[in-house]
Amino acid sequence: MKNKVKILREGKNMTQTELAEKSGLSLRTVQRIEAGTVPKGFTLKAIAGILETDPENLLSADEEEKSSVDRAKFINLSALLGFVIPFGGVIFPLILTYKTKDPVNKELGKNIVSVQIILVAVVSVLMIISPFIQRLLSVKIPLFLVFLIAFLCVKLFVIIKNGICLNTKNDLCIKLKTSFL
């Protein structure tokens, strides 16, 4: 319960205070709901309305919530295809994310893809400027290999760390503050 409300709220870049104000609830009520209290009646409808989801989506059982995190684990794992297929670490998780109907899973997928896009953008820029840096520093070893190996290590670290956090906390450890997807 708390994960769905919190993830949907964060997906809309809202603070708990903003959710409380827009829904007409107290801040303490929003905090209790995110801590695990099950909302009913007006409270449930108000939060679902502001988060633009059906009230039933906020009342799933723990097993259903855990299975939705299993889908996010699969999306995270699909980023490994970036080791084999150029831009596969972005394309495949993006496809899986947008084919997902579960809002919690979709938000986790968007966060996974956002991090992968940033990694690919950084390594692309580094690969383009590496010959110039190599010439400027008069380095004999090809710098693009250093950047490529560093990128692969960071990518693997991010995927493993997020996989561990999905298993233990049902949330991502490495994510952007605001998802741009």
Residue pLDDT tens, the chain, 181 long = 446 888 888 888 899 999 899 999 999 998 888 887 888 888 888 998 988 888 887 775 444 444 568 899 999 999 999 999 989 999 999 999 999 988 889 999 999 999 999 999 999 999 999 999 999 999 888 988 999 999 999 999 999 999 999 998 889 999 988 877 7
The residue range of the domain holding 154 is: 62-169
151, 123 in Cβ contact below 8 A? yes
| 30 and 81 housed in the same domain | no
- Whether pTM > 0.85 for this model: the answer is no
| 151 and 100 housed in the same domain | yes
- 170 Rama sector, left if φ>0, alpha if ψ -120 to 50, beta otherwise: left
Nearest residue to 81 via CA among 124, 121, 112, 125 = 112
- State how far the Cα of 165 lies from the Cα of 77, in Å rounded to an integer: 13
Structure-block tokens of residue 141: 């070893």
CATH of the domain at 19: 1.10.260.40
Question: Is 78 domain-assigned?
Answer: yes
Structure-block tokens of residue 60: 């799933």
Question: Is 93 domain-assigned?
Answer: yes
- Phi and psi angles of residue 138, each rounded to the nearest 5 degrees, phi first: 55, 45
| 18 and 103 housed in the same domain | no
Which residues does 69 contact at the CB level (< 8 Å), separation at least 6?
104, 105, 108, 166, 170
- Phi and psi angles of residue 14, each rounded to the nearest 5 degrees, phi first: -115, 145
| 43 and 131 housed in the same domain | no
Residue spans of beta strands (DSSP E) within 86-153: none
| 52 and 106 housed in the same domain | no
Q: Which helix (H) or strand (E) element contains residue 130?
A: helix 103-137
Question: Which residue, 58, 73, 104, sits at the end of a domain?
Answer: 58
- Give the chain's domain count: 2
| 47 and 66 housed in the same domain | no
| 83 and 147 housed in the same domain | yes
Question: Is 178 domain-assigned?
Answer: no
Which residues does 175 contact at the CB level (< 8 Å), separation at least 6?
111, 112, 114, 115, 162
Question: Is 179 domain-assigned?
Answer: no
- State how far the Cα of 115 lies from the Cα of 90, in Å rounded to an integer: 9
